[in-house]
Each structure stands twice: as structure tokens, then as C-alpha cells.
Amino acid sequence: MPSVIKHRTAFAWLAGVFFAAHAGAQTMPTDDPNQWLEDVEGTKALDWVRAQNADSQKALTADPSFGQLRDDLRAILDSNARIPMVVKQGDYYYNFWRDKEHPAGLWRRTMLAEYRKAEPAWEVLIDLDALNKTESKNWVWHGADCLKPAYARCLIALSRGGSDADVTREFDLPSKTWVADGFFRPEAKGGLNWKDLNTVYVSTDFGPGSMTTSGYARIVKEWQRGTPMAAAKTVYEAQTTDMAAGGFRDLTTGFERDFVQRSLAFYNDELFVVGKDGQLVKLDVPNSAQKNVHRQYLMLELRDPWTVGGKTYAAGALIAADFDKFLAGGRDFTVLFEPTEHAALSGYTWTKNHLLLNVLEDVKNRITVLTPAADGSWKREALVGAPGFGTVSVSAIDDEESDDYFMTVTDYLTPTSLRLGTVGSAPETIKQLPAFFDASKLEINQHFATSKDGTKVPYFIVSPKGMKVDGKNPTLLYGYGGFEISLTPGYSAGVGRAWLTQGGVYVVANIRGGGEYGPRWHKAALRENRNKAYEDFAAVAEDLIARKITTPAHLGIQGGSNGGLLMGNMTVMYPQLFGAVVCQVPLLDMKRYSHLLAGASWMAEYGNPDVPADWAFLQKYSPYQNVSKDVTYPPVLFTTSTRDDRVHPGHARKMMARMKEQGHDVLYYENIEGGHGGAANNEQSAFMQALAFTFLKKKLF
């Protein structure tokens, strides 16, 4: 899906933890004859996988266009013309980079003056391919956190084969070596975060009983250098039925504070301030609000209306208060943003003196600069130089040192550009992705379909200029519709090369369940209302057919993860609308999902299948239970990864087995590595993409 850059907060530790999970499956009574396929790395299950893979490779890789498409996609992924996105730490700008010569990747850095050049000189810090060769591993990069202000020591997270579970190792930047007897967290689904040079917060697998039922760390400890991790002091313990817990220090100069975050579920968490005496003080704010403490400000992004201090603040609003005054009992908030029917908050970022708000207006970004004054007021003005169309994201470069920011600008046909700006003046383009395909004969339009309940659902369509509306255009419709994730226009060289330049039409549906119109859009398709997302997607498909852009025989659909669940339900609920389906790393068995890997953490989104009242609505959109041998379904390609420890590969395996047994037209390919992204390196990514597009072309053209 197109990337959506949200604002970065001090609580970013949870971003990776949210989706991590333990391998394997919990057992429960079942009459499912395919449950043996949930044995992720069992010999019998993997033999079955290899047999399906062989059938799919025979069917798809023999296509005359497959090899060239795979090679072209690999060349795009390996291209040195890609923009090396950077993060500033201290005086340096850091980047992680993969290409043909470095498939595992390089962690490297440079200075800003050098970065501005067309071909910067980089200082390589970690060569992951060399490390893999030395250690006989297949490490996949998960990130680096360097301790300010010296930025000499870093905590490096590495994953085996792309799984969400990872290890954390301490690295010394000046010597470019791993720290002997330094901080080391064994493989688990947790985190390690700096408190100071000799102290870290650790949340990880400490042994039996230390993980939640969702598979995440629930215990937060403070760990001193030179002592065994087992001797670390417990700071907080969440409940086993919670989702996760973690601790961190905000290292902003002059505003150093320690926090513990308890996540009960998605969009349901508590934030505690750790006092100097070690006591935890819970912030008295709604669990559903996104919480951020920045310098003197407490920032709350509300998901539900909140009445406090004699005032009611709207769901979707961003409000701010003085943090210390709030802790002392004050409840005086300032409204920084309030949603409208057409506008929702997409994110925000702080520079040294300004707050940059990113708002989506009918799925188009608008950037506003807010400047706080000494009297408590906030000045508002548009960000100079921000474009009027496309996906625009801004991020502060160093919120303690300057008002500089990076801006990325893109849309479906405009190669991504990276701009460097300072609040108050127009930004300068310093990096530009080249055009990987000819877009001169293509155009972008936005339409609105009417869903079953009358809701207007936006969608973008990328098509040839002057396209004939004769119903014969091969069309690929993409969707997600969950977890308040917005799909905004983004440049995909792969889609351009593999689909648009081949004569295909590309459509992205902004259905409910996503975040395109804020919390209300997401909450409209939760739990018992999940079918709203499917009705929206069907409405977009029907609108495309009514406009004579395409017909079911030429209309394909694609989605992954929650979007894979969308694909499964569209297949079994609306088979008459589609000619082909690509279902990637999907959820499909909603009876078992909460017992598989990270599934328990998604019950706020879907419901609890073990509760009869929840199962009553869940079973209506559980594709695995609803597929029937007596219905004609469109051809389906299922893809997943053995190393996906987020969404269990058993979902795709079992659905494939059942549909194949029933005699349906189905193919299956499981990458033995790759994690939830489906691939661990560019070679695997190119292969998996080529499989999907070859399948779609064979079925829809």
C-alpha cells in the first residue's frame, strides 16, 4: 500500500511491538480438518507448502513475460536512483540502504552538505551482508536508536529472516564495533530503550508468564549495565490479557521524563509518568486518546468526545494543555484542530518553534503552521510552498535545534520528491525520484461511490487519458479498510511498470475502517459493523462497472493483512463482481484468529470469537467458514510467508486447502522467509510481485 507517514512521538517504541507476536498457535477444541496446517514449520505442513509452491511456479513463471517483469521489478527495487531517506541524529544523517550489491543492506551516514549532492559519499557503519556471512545468519534490519547527546552508543534491532520478533544489540559508533558484554536482548517480541548510558528500559520475554496472550512483553524493567538481565528491577507489570507494555525516557533537553505505556488493545492504552521516587502516576485522560508529551505540552488526539473542565471536545480533535499544570490538577485545554465532515487530522510534527499540522481533506493533504505565543494563543498560517494535490508529509529534522523540516511529495503519477524547508520560506527540492514509467498518457481522477447505507465513499482511479468506457479495461482495485490506516496517493514504480504501462487501470478505494476521515471513518466499520467496509468496497466495484470502466471479467482486486481479510470476504460475499483476486498475508479464519500469533491483540477491531454474541456477527465475515463448493468464485492467488509471526500463515494455508478440495480455481505461494511484508530482500520482493501481476494479467486481459 502507499506509505502514510504519521507524526513521530516519544512513544514510537510501540510502533513495532504493536504487530509483533510469538510463533506457533495456541490449541483449542476444533473440528477443522485443516488445522494441521497451522504447524508453521512442521515437516508435513512445509511439504504441503512446497507442493503448492511448485504448482504455482509452474503455472505462472512459465509465462513468457514473467522473467522480464521480475527482472524489471528487481531493477527498480535495487535502483541507486531511489531516494535515500534519512534521520538526523546529532550532526549526522543516517540511512539504511539495500541494492543489488547489498541485498541485506547497509547502515550508513553522511553530513547534510554531502547529502545534498546527487551522489553523496556515505560512511558505512554496519554492512549487514558481511555480518550475515560472518555469523551465518539471515539478519533483517529493524532499526537503530542512538543515545543523545553524544550519539556514540546505539541499540540495534535485528530480525531473523524478517519476523517481527527480534534481538537488540549494543553498537559503538566511533569504533564501528559491537560492544563486548554490552546490552543484549535475546530474540523476543519486546523492546530495549535508553534511559542513560548505563541504564535501559527492557520489555521482553523474561520466561513463563511474562508475555501477554497476544504474544507481547507485559513486564517493564530497568536494567543496569554490567548486571544480568534477570536481575533488572521491575518497574511495571501489565495484565496477561493486555496487549503490551513498555518503558522509555523522553530525552528532550530540559524536559527529561520517564514513562511507562500500558496498551490494553489498539487505541486503548494508559500512560504513566515515572516519578523520581519510582512511583507511577497515570495520566487522567481517555484511554482511547493518542497521547504525546512534548516539552511543556500534553497533546491529545481524541478518538471519542471528552468532557473535562466544563467543556466538551469532539472526537477527532487535537487538544493541548500545559503538562505540569495538568499533573497539578489543571484541565485547561486549547483546541488545535477540530474535524469537519470532509477533514480529519492525519498527523503532526514539532519543529523548534512551530507545530505543523497535517490534515486530510477528502484524502488530500493540507499543512498548517501553528505557532504558540507567550499568552497561550496560537497563530495559524498555511505552510509556504506546500502543494495542493497528492500525498504530502512533513517531519521535523531536529525539533531541538531548528525549524527545518523534510517534506515528501508524491502521487500516483508523480515520482516522489524530498524537499528541505524552514518554516516561513519555500522548501527546496533536494532529491527527486526519476520516472520509472511513462506517465504522460495517464491521468488521476477521484470519484465517490454510494455505499449500501448511502455513505459516499471516495476512490482514486489512474487510467489512460481518453480511456474508452466500453467495459473492457483490465482494472485492479486495491483496498485495506482497517485500523484507521489511510490510503493516500503514492508513486509506485512497480504498479506503473507491471500494470499501468501494460494497459491496466489502477483504483484505490478509501473505504470505512480506514482513517481517511479520522476516527469516525474507522469506528464505522468495527466489530459488528465490519460489513460496512465490504459494502463500501463492493460499491466502488459496482461504480466502476456502472461507469463502464470495466466489467467483472476484467476487474481484479488485491489486498494484504487486514486487506487480505477484505479480499477473502469479497471473494465469498461478492463473487459475481470480480474476475481475479490476489489475497496476501491474510486473515481468513475468524473463528481461530485470536488464538493464532498476534490475533488476540486485534479483538477490539474484530470481536472475540469465543464470546457467542461476538461470534454471531464475526461468522458472517469469516471467509474460511463461509466458502462453499456450490458457488463459482473468481480465481484466487494466495500469498504468505512462513516467517510471518504477525498474521499466521495458517490462514492462507487452510483457505487454500479448503478451496482446492472444493474444486475452485486457486493458486498458492508461500515465501519461506520474509515476515509480514512477505519478503526479506529485494530479490524475494520482485519475485512475489511478479507472481501477483502475472496472475492478474493472465486472468483479466
- Under 8 Å between Cβ of 549 and 467: yes
CA gap 506, 497 in Å, rounded: 12
- Under 8 Å between Cβ of 498 and 689: yes
Catalytic annotation present for 22 = no
Active-site hit among 561, 594, 622, 685: 561
Question: Which residue's entry shows cell 528491577?
Answer: 233
Question: Which residue's entry shows cell 494479467?
Answer: 697
CA gap 14, 6 in Å, rounded: 14
Measured from the Cβ of residue 338, the count of other Cβ atoms closer than 10 Å reads: 15
Q: Is 659 exposed, middle or buried (0-12, 13-18, 19+ CB in 10 A)?
A: buried
Residue 309, all three cell numbers: 473542565
Residue 395: closest CA among 364, 363, 421, 359: 421
CA gap 241, 131 in Å, rounded: 38
Q: Is 464 exposed, middle or buried (0-12, 13-18, 19+ CB in 10 A)?
A: middle
Active-site hit among 7, 294, 676, 685: 676
* Ramachandran region, residue 657 (left: φ > 0; alpha: ψ -120 to 50; beta: rest): alpha
Residue 136, all three cell numbers: 551465518
* Backbone dihedral angles phi then psi of residue 410, each to the nearest 5 degrees: -160, 160
* Backbone dihedral angles phi then psi of residue 495, each to the nearest 5 degrees: -60, -40
Catalytic annotation present for 463 = no
Measured from the Cβ of residue 280, the count of other Cβ atoms closer than 10 Å reads: 18
Residue 592, all three cell numbers: 481461530
* 8-state DSSP, 132: H
Residue 537: closest CA among 577, 496, 489, 484: 577
CA gap 195, 192 in Å, rounded: 10
- Under 8 Å between Cβ of 431 and 475: no
The contacts of residue 102 (CB under 8 Å, 6+ apart) are 127, 128, 129
The contacts of residue 69 (CB under 8 Å, 6+ apart) are 497, 498, 690, 693, 694
3-state SS of 57-81 is: HHHHCCCCCHHHHHHHHHHHHHCCC
- Under 8 Å between Cβ of 415 and 491: yes
Residue type for position 361: E
- Under 8 Å between Cβ of 205 and 212: no
Give the residue numbers annotated as catalytic, written as ranges: 561, 676
